[in-house]
Each structure stands twice: as C-alpha cells, then as structure tokens.
Chains A and B, each alone.
Chain A
C-alpha cells in the first residue's frame, strides 16, 4: 500500500512537480484537474435502450467482493496519479443506488485514505427512482455523497413503461422529492423523443421537472445505440422534425425558468454546473475504476487511455490478482485535437483558447486550418480569448466535429 501523506504536503509537492513540458513530446506544462469515476455494473433490469456496461442482477450481487476489488483497483492505480488531487467523484452505472450506504462509505473512506481528496469535493451518486428510500438516501449522505443524479427519464407512466423502466410516474416524483429534501445538489435526467411521445407530452415532462426546482437538469434525446434491443427492433419514435421541435421548445422553456443551457444536454441554475462532468468537457483527466471503466490520464510526456476488464467477474478476478487494467492506449498527437474538440465544443460557451495547449500540449496552430473551415461554415465563433460553437454548430455538432477528424 502507498504510504499516506497529508494533503497539504501533496499540494506543495505538486507545485514543484517536474515541469518538463517544454522539451517533452506533448509539452504538457501542468497536469490537468483529475476526477474519479467509480462504476457499479449492476441493474435490477437492463433497459432496452441502454448500451452502458450494466448487467441484470438476477442472482445476489457480490457487493462485498466488488467493493474490495474496487479498493484494490484504486490502490493499484494510485501510483499513476501519484500526488494529484481528486476534484470530484462520480458513482455511475448500472445502478449505484443498488449498493448499500455502508459499501459507498467504505469506498469513499478508502478514496480518502489513498488519495488527496479536495476539500468539499463534489461526490455524485447516480440513483434509480425505483431503488431508493429515505434510509438509503440518508445513508449515502452520511457516507459523504453530496449530489444525486436521478434517472427519472419521464414523468409519464406510459413512456416509462415503453422505456422498460422499473419505476412509474408516482415513484418518479416521490424519488425526486426525497432526493431534493435530502441533498442540496440534485440532477434529474429526463429524456425526450420517446416511443410514441407527443410534443405536448414531452413538454409536460419538462414542466414537471422544472416544477420540482432542482439545481441541475439533463435533457437527452433518446438515441438508438447499436447492440441494444431498441436498435434491433426500433420502437415507433417521433419524426426527426418533431423531436427537433421538442428540443427547441424544451430549451426555451428552461431558459424562461432561468436554467442556463451550458452543454449539449445539460442545464443548470447559475453556478450549479456538474463539476465532475465539466471536467470531462474541459478535457481534464479522470481515473475510472470498476468493471469496464475508462480513464484518461496525462503524464509529462504522454496522454493515455485505460480500460478496465469489462465483465464484473473478470474485473474482480484481475483486480484481486493485482491488475484490473485490460488495455492502455496512447492518444496520438493526431487524435488529440479531435478528442479535445469532441468534448470542449459541447460547451455552449466554448473554451478559452489557452486551454487547448494546456490540455493537449499542442499549439492551437495545429488545428488552425480546421478552425478556419468551421468558422467559414458558420459553425464556430472565435475572438482572441475564446472559441465557441454557434447555435448552428451546437445543432450540428457532429458535422462540426467531423472537420477535426
């Protein structure tokens, strides 16, 4: 195990950390902010549209063994992020709320022991409205969770049924009210463009979500992902024009209610951005632990991606054996520009031009030609300080990103 050093020592250590950037390959002067993602790969029932690494928990979930494996994984990973502060933690899934508060507490105290965790770091837990109760929420809060992201998806009973969710409309509202009563920071995930959904029904969902008054809302267009039942036998979905209208109407409703549209699908009250997700979009670093979790880690001379063993069983076995990482790949210089843009251009306000070099180690001039093309097509706007997508660029983000491929 790595010796535990007080956080304050790490801070100073970090400041004097070798800034070899000027003569290394990527030329990264400073390490980007680091966040921690923890994957809980089980669900009560797999939803037909979901392509995440989640497994139906038919038998008993090996919760204890998995928690131990997660901690082992973290221990093994610490040397690669040695001395770097964790800015935020996110429990994603699957359904993290299937786990007992005690397990979450155990994981969080391990994180606290093994890494320097920033004071008052954002700690989010994804929860399914069908799996929570008062005791659970209180327990999570006790364990150190300070933000909950609820997968509401819809407040309409028929829509929830069509999505194969385990909760109904009443449970959706009850869960949201309970979360809001327990936690200061709450996000509600809502989807539109659902099977047989009308414009009115999509707007009713949006209004209901706003009536609950959470600080953060995510509105997603339902996407048919490959390797899902919906992809193989697509349900009858609203036309592209109808769902585009849903999006536009929802966006203006949210704006009227003072929700800031700051990322493709994310809206929030002022100063309530999801810090963990913002770190992804600003091309920060993240360590992902747990089955199939992905990491992006920058070193002074290279930027890499890691993937853990995908199947829970394989993950646990390998973590126990001493290495849960299945694959490590180098992000080539050619890909860095694109990957940065793929994230940063999701932000409505774009990014500061300095950030590009700060995060990729490449001078902005390497993508000057592409920026020119994007600007000439009216997809981005830029001044000396910032580059941001225009409204057209936001709507046609894929076309915009393709320029950087």
Chain B
C-alpha cells in the first residue's frame, strides 16, 4: 500500500489538465501509441469538441520511479467548470493528494482557487504545477508568486512542465510520489468502499467507481449498499488503465470499478458506502452533499408528437447524469414539454446539445430561470420553478429570490468594468482583496441575474481574464414583478419572466425589441407586447410581408422550384406555431440578448 498514490488534477478550463493527464498515461504506458488520442479520458464527443471534461474519469498506472520502486498511480481526472464542482469534490475525496495545474502564462483563476480550497478542506496534499512553460508568454516566476499570494501554498518547488511537448512531465510524477502521502487503510478490517461515481452501461448495467478505504472486495462477494440497504452479487471488479481491466480483487487504498448487476442508477447512490453482507462495517463513511439544480428551463419538442421521444431521451440521459431533473410541464403556447433542472448554464447547454445531437430532437428551450420562494398571505411558503406559475399577486405576501455568493478573480486592469457589471446585476460588494497582480472581488448577487448572461458579459468586459466561482447563499425578499409577453394579444406563458421592478420596464422593452428582430415577417402584422399585470409597457410590430411568390413558372425544370419551396418550408419547421404566428427558437431566448442600460 505504501507504493500507491491516489491523486487528482485541479485546473481551470484550458489550463491543460486533460493534456497533462494524457501525457502521464502515455509515460506510464497505460495505452499504446496507436491508442492514444487527445484527451483520452474525455470519452464523450461533446467533451472533446468543447475541450472540457464533464464526467470524472480514472486511470490506474504503473510507474517505475527514480528510486527504483514501482508505484501504482491512480489518476482521477475531474471537470474544471463551476457547474460540475460537485464532481470535483467527489473525486477529491477519493484521493490523498492533488496537483494544482496552473497555466504559466495566465496565472491563477477563480475556479482553481475554489477547487483548491475544497481539496485543502478535505485534507489533501496540494502540489502546484506550472504548465505551458513552452509558451513565449510564460512567466513562471510571477505565477509562482501569484499561487503563494492567492492560494497560500508553497509554490517555490513547483515543477515546470509542458503537457503539450512532454517537457518536465516526469518531474511532475516524481513530485506526486514525493509529496502525496500513501493511502492509509486496513486490509483486514470490514470492507468500506466509497462510491465516487456511477454510470449506466448498456451491456453490464450500473458501473460504480469506488475507492476502497478498508478491507478487500473480490469477485463473487455478496455486497450491501449501506444507504439503500440493497444487496447485490459482485460480478466483476477491476481498474481502468484507462481501458477497463478486470482484477481478482480491490484492496484498501485502491481505486477501481465494481459491477454488481445493478439495473438502475438510483440503487447505486454516489457517496454511498459498499460493505460485505457477511462481514459488514459498523458505520458508513460520510457521504456527499446532494447536489440541487440551480437553473431551470423548459424544454419543448418543436413537433408536439415528439413529446414521448423527448421523455425517452431525457430518461436515457439521466441514467448517466443524476443531477439532471425533469418533470412534465404544459404550456399553452408550446404544448407539452419538460421543466428541467440543471446545475448551471453550461450543464443546460450540454444537455440541450446532447438531446439534439445524440437523440436527434428538435427543441425549443425557454430562457433559464431560478427557483423563487413565495410567502403567501396565508402563511404558506412555496417554491416555484416556472415564472408562469406565479400565483395572483394578491395572494402573495413576499417573493424571495435566491442569492449567491460570487468570488471573482481578475487582473487589476479589469476591476472597474467588472464592478460596474456586478452593480448592474444588483450585486452587493462584500469584499475586495489584492493578491499580487490579481484582485479577488466578493459579491452577493441574485442568481436570476447571473443565469441570464452574466458569464458572457464577464468574459467580454474582462477580455476573458476574469473567472468566477459561486455558491448558493440564501433566499431573500426582493421587489419582483412578473413580466408577460404577448404575441398578437395572446400571452405566451413560456416567455413570462420574473424581473426586478427597477429593471422590468427596460427589460420588457428590450425583449420586445429583440423579438421583433428575431421573428420573421409573415403574412400578417404581428404585435409583440410586454405587460406587467394589466399595464402594457412596450409594443413593437413585425410588419406583414407583402408577398412570397415565384414570378415565373413555365413547365421546364420543376425540381429547382421544388427545392426552393422545400428550403422555405424547412426553415419554418424549426419554428413553433403560437396561435397563427410562427416563432423561431431563438426568439424564446430573446431575454438573453437584451443589453443592459
């Protein structure tokens, strides 16, 4: 056990985490050259394309160190984006150490800081690594200083490497062996295995990724899930190299997979403890906090007969994504669909894209909203996830919105614009800290302001240099109103939103103006109005198109005319018919494109 090292890599997006993982796997001979491809641990297409990691992955590697001993390295790759921070904390709790990979030219970013603190809180040994030192713009000295200033760990000894060229990767592994402590655990104690992650495989059912804390787990052992109290027969154990490799057993300190003929993900809860039926552990390990969706949006099929297909697709997706919540919802404008809960905007975007790509769905997505808490006149407290469900205001005593604590990290030059942005979003500044050349701003902000377009704005005002991290703080009462949008006099429920009274008029005008641009001219005039209660606060008209006709048609080649009409028709298919108006998908997200005052 003294030659085992379990470690994770923490890094901000694009700081080269997956590439470094590739290098380490390659160096340890985990995969042949021909099997290597970029980002081997990112198995989803969408992960590769976007260059991000969504699901945690592991690799068990053999490494002959400079001291002549062979070490077993368990590398657990983790997602870098704030939406998936829960995955990070789960992966980290299976490790004794973490590599903090920092881009030697860009320096520390907020996400790394947050994850790094999580790792330190979990008692992990954090080792800093400077990556991308081959870049001409690399400034290792400055970045080392920054790591010490911002995070407060010793970075003087940080290995310098370039995952891209392979330079210094060996030093990184040696640092892992030297600094990360070997796992402690008792092989002879009753089995305690922590479920780090679980996913559904079409062939073998649920696959659980576990870290054995104490004891030993063998094939054919009868196991018990301590939280759900269900019993299963362990069919196979093994490790990922990163290919799956069956093993006779997994011992204390090791990380590997368990297949036990479990048919649904609900029975294999992440954070649960596995023990043996015959020789059970007395108490379970501390699990993980359950993640709650923060952002909600309606997903509707463009063709109403695709509702069942969408349900099937969502069910399949949720097999592997326990954080995706969905329940049927009915909109007068859009018909039947689902209200879905996501961890954040990126998560939402990814789910939407996977539905469209992997399940060939044509979707209308409504603008993202958050959960509001309502104190009713009769004293009841209810939560609503959909603005159109807001009851008659005479029944409502108070509307409370979720407020989050946001930490923003950016170079000094951009403090001004970022502060302006936060103030526009009704943020309240709580702290400001200079850390070398970087500044950490702490704000409290309503989540509904953040889900709309805060990330995009932040990136644009800081030229991509600012990064952020956030967590839920509390529900707070605010002066909120419901803003309705009407198309040709008909209220489109899926466009309703809850807005702060102060910005509601501006927002209503903005949405209506944007929709006028997005809705194509049709056979009749289309009135688009915004209303608060019975008050119309904005109106725009899409003037009727005058004609749509082919000037000439004399026998001849009909196929071309046909193609032209088919093209026109295909364009319309992507639109949703509301009343007799055809509304394109983008128009349902018009609110995202409204500029601030």
- Interface residues of chain A, those whose CB is within 8 Å of chain B, are 37, 220-223, 240-241, 243-245, 247, 264-265, 277, 280-281, 286, 288, 294, 296, 305, 307, 338-339, 342-343, 346, 377, 392, 394-399, 401-402, 405
Quick check: A399 and B548 within 8 Å, CB to CB? yes
Is the pair A342, B556 in contact by a Cβ cutoff of 8 Å? no
Question: Does B379 make an interface contact (CB < 8 A)?
Answer: no
Q: How far is the CA of A377 from the CA of B522 in the complex (A)?
A: 13
Q: Identify B554's interface contact among A280, A305, A339, CB under 8 A.
A: A280
Q: With a CB–CB cut-off of 8 A, which chain A residues contact B545?
A: 240, 396
As a 0/1 sequence over residues 13 to 31 of chain B, the CB contacts with chain A under 8 angstroms (1 = contact) are 0000000000000000000
Interchain CA distance A281-B551 in the complex, whole Å: 13
- Cβ distance B59 to chain A, nearest Cβ, rounded Å: 53
Contacts of B547 in A (CB 8 A): 244, 247, 395-396
Measured between beta carbons, the chain A residues less than 8 angstroms from B543 are: 241
A281 neighbours in B (Cβ, 8 Å): 553
Interfacial chain A residues near B556, Cβ < 8 Å: 288, 294
Question: CA separation between A288 and B558, bound complex, in Å?
Answer: 14
- A140 to B: closest C-beta gap in Å: 21
- Closest-CB distance, A293 to chain B (whole angstroms): 8
**Residue among B543, B562, B566 with max Cβ neighbours from chain A (10 Å):** B562
Report if A265-B552 is in contact (Cβ < 8 Å); known contacts: A339-B558, A398-B565: yes
Question: Which of B546, B555, B562, B572 makes the CB contact (< 8 A) with A395?
Answer: B546
**Contact of A401 with B553 at beta-carbon distance under 8 Å, contacts A244-B547, A247-B547 already known:** no
Pairwise interchain contact A395-B548, C-beta atoms closer than 8 A: yes
Complex contacts, B546 vs chain A, CB 8 Å: 240-241, 243-245, 247, 395
Flag if A286 contacts B548 (CB, 8 Å): no
Cβ contacts A to B, 25 pairs, < 8 Å? A37-B555, A222-B551, A223-B551, A241-B543, A244-B546, A247-B546, A264-B551, A277-B554, A281-B553, A294-B556, A296-B555, A338-B562, A342-B553, A342-B558, A342-B562, A346-B553, A394-B549, A396-B549, A397-B548, A398-B565, A398-B568, A399-B568, A401-B565, A402-B565, A402-B572
* Cβ contact within 8 Å between A286 and B555: yes
In the complex the two chains form, what is the Cα distance from A338 to B569 in whole Å?
Answer: 14
What separation, in Å, do the CA atoms of A245 and B545 have in the docked complex?
12
Q: Which residues of B contact A377 (CB under 8 A)?
A: 580
Report chain A residues within 8 Å CB of B430: none
Interface assignment of B523: CB less than 8 Å from any CB of chain A: yes
Q: Which positions in B face A, CB cutoff 8 Å?
A: 523, 543, 545-558, 561-562, 565-566, 568-569, 572, 580
17 other A-B residue contacts (CB within 8 Å) besides A221-B551, A402-B565: A222-B551, A241-B543, A244-B547, A265-B551, A280-B553, A280-B555, A286-B555, A342-B565, A395-B523, A395-B548, A399-B523, A399-B548, A401-B565, A402-B568, A402-B569, A405-B566, A405-B569
Least distance between B155 CB and chain A CB atoms (Å): 59
Asked if B548 and A305 sit within 8 Å, CB to CB, the answer is: no
Residues of A within 8 A of B558 (CB): 294, 305, 339, 342
Contact partners of A265 in chain B: CB under 8 A = 551-552
Complex Cα gap A241–B546 (Å):
7
Indicate if the CB atoms of B551 and A220 lie closer than 8 Å. yes
Looking at A286, A294, A392, which has the most chain B CB atoms within 10 Å of its CB?
A294
Interface centre among A277, A286, A346, A396 (most CB of B within 10 A): A396
Residue of B nearest to A223 (CB): B551
A343 touches B548 (CB 8 A): no
Return the 7 tightest CB-CB contacts between A and B, nearest first: A244-B546, A397-B549, A395-B547, A402-B569, A280-B555, A398-B548, A220-B551
Task: Specify which chain A residues have a CB less than 8 angstroms from the CB of B549 in the assembled complex.
Answer: 264, 394-398
Residues in B neighbouring A305, C-beta threshold 8 A: 558
Q: Is the interface of B mostly helix, strand, loop or mixed?
A: loop
Q: Are A223 and B572 in contact (CB under 8 A)?
A: no
Contact B555 A397 (CB under 8 A): no
- Which residues in B have their C-beta under 8 angstroms from that of A280? 553-555
Q: Considering only CB atoms, which chain B residue lies closest to A220 in the complex?
A: B551
Say whether, besides A240-B545, A392-B523, A398 and B557 are in contact (CB < 8 Å).
Answer: no
Residues of chain B lying within 8 A (CB to CB) of residue A223: 550-552
A241 nearest CB neighbor, chain B only: B546
Could you say which residues of chain B place their CB within 8 Å of the CB of A240?
Answer: 545-546
**How far is B547's CA from A223's CA once the two chains are assembled, in angstroms?**
13
Q: In the complex, what's the smallest C-beta–C-beta distance from A73 to chain B, in angstroms? A: 17
B568 touches A220 (CB 8 A): no
Q: Which residue of chain B is the closest to A193 with respect to CB atoms?
A: B551
Write the chain A residue with the least CB distance to B524. A392
> Shortest distance in angstroms between A267's beta carbon and chain B's nearest beta carbon?
13
Residues of A contacting B523 with CB < 8 Å? 392, 395-396, 399
**A338 to B543 Cα, complex, angstroms:** 29
For A396, give its contact among B548, B552, B553, B580 (CB under 8 Å). Answer: B548
Q: Which partner residue on chain A sits nearest B553 by CB separation?
A: A346
**How long is the Cα–Cα vector from A286 to B580 in the complex, in angstroms?**
40
Contacts of A346 in B (CB 8 A): 553
Chain B residues within an 8 Å CB radius of A244 = 546-547
User: In the assembly, what is the distance between CA of A281 and CA of B572, in Å?
Assistant: 27
A306 to chain B, nearest CB (A): 11
Nearest CB in chain B to that of A221: its residue: B551
Complex Cα–Cα for A243 and B561 (A): 21
Task: Give the distance to chain A from B564, nearest Cβ to Cβ, in Å.
Answer: 8
Most B-side CB within 10 Å, residue of A244, A296, A346, A401: A401
Residues of A near B548 (CB, < 8 A) are 395-399
| Minimum CB–CB distance for A324 against chain B, Å | 16
List the B side residues contacting A286 at CB < 8 Å.
555
Tell me, in angstroms, the Cα distance from A296 to B523 when the chains sit together.
33
Shortest beta-carbon distance, A83 to chain B, in Å?
Answer: 22
Question: From residue B563, how far is it (CB to closest CB) to chain A in Å?
Answer: 10
CB distance from A373 to the nearest CB of B (A): 12
Within 8 Å by CB of A288, from B551, B553, B555, B569, lies B555
Alpha-carbon gap, A377 to B577, bound state (A): 13
A264 touches B568 (CB 8 A): no
> Are B554 and A398 in contact (CB-based, < 8 A)?
no
Q: What's the Cα separation between A286 and B397 when bound, in Å? A: 76
Contact status A264-B555, CB under 8 Å: no
Bound-complex Cα distance A394 to B523 (A): 12
Across the two chains, which residue of chain B brings its CB closest to A295? B555
By a CB distance below 8 angstroms, the chain B residues around A222 are 551
A307 to B580, CA, bound (A): 41
- Closest-CB distance, A43 to chain B (whole angstroms): 17
Name which residue of chain B comes closest to A279, CB basis: B555
Residue from A277, A294, A396, A397 within 8 A of B557 (CB atoms): A294
Nearest residue (CB) in A for B558 is A339
**Given A241-B546, A395-B547, A395-B549: A294 in contact with B555 (beta carbons within 8 A):** yes
Most central of B546, B553, B555, B569 by chain A CB within 10 Å: B555
Taking CB as reference atom, which chain B residue is nearest A331? B558
> Which single residue of chain A is at the shortest CB-CB distance from B554?
A280
CB pair A405–B557 under 8 Å, yes or no, is: no
Q: How far is the CB of A96 from chain B (nearest CB, A)?
A: 14
A242 to B518, CA, bound (A): 22
- What is the CB-to-nearest-CB distance from B550 to chain A, in angstroms, rounded to a whole number? 7
Query: Complex: how many Å from CA A286 to CA B557?
Result: 12
In Å, the complex CA distance between A294 and B547 comes to 28
Min distance, Cβ B36 to any Cβ of chain A, angstroms: 46
A392, B545: Cα distance in complex, Å:
11
A359 and B208 CA atoms in complex are apart in Å by 67
B-side contacts of A401, CB under 8 Å: 565
For the complex, give the distance between the alpha carbons of A277 and B580 in Å.
35
Docked complex Cα distance between A37 and B561 (Å): 19
Point out the residues of chain B lying under 8 angstroms from A37, CB to CB: 555
Interface centre among B543, B548, B550, B554 (most CB of A within 10 A): B554
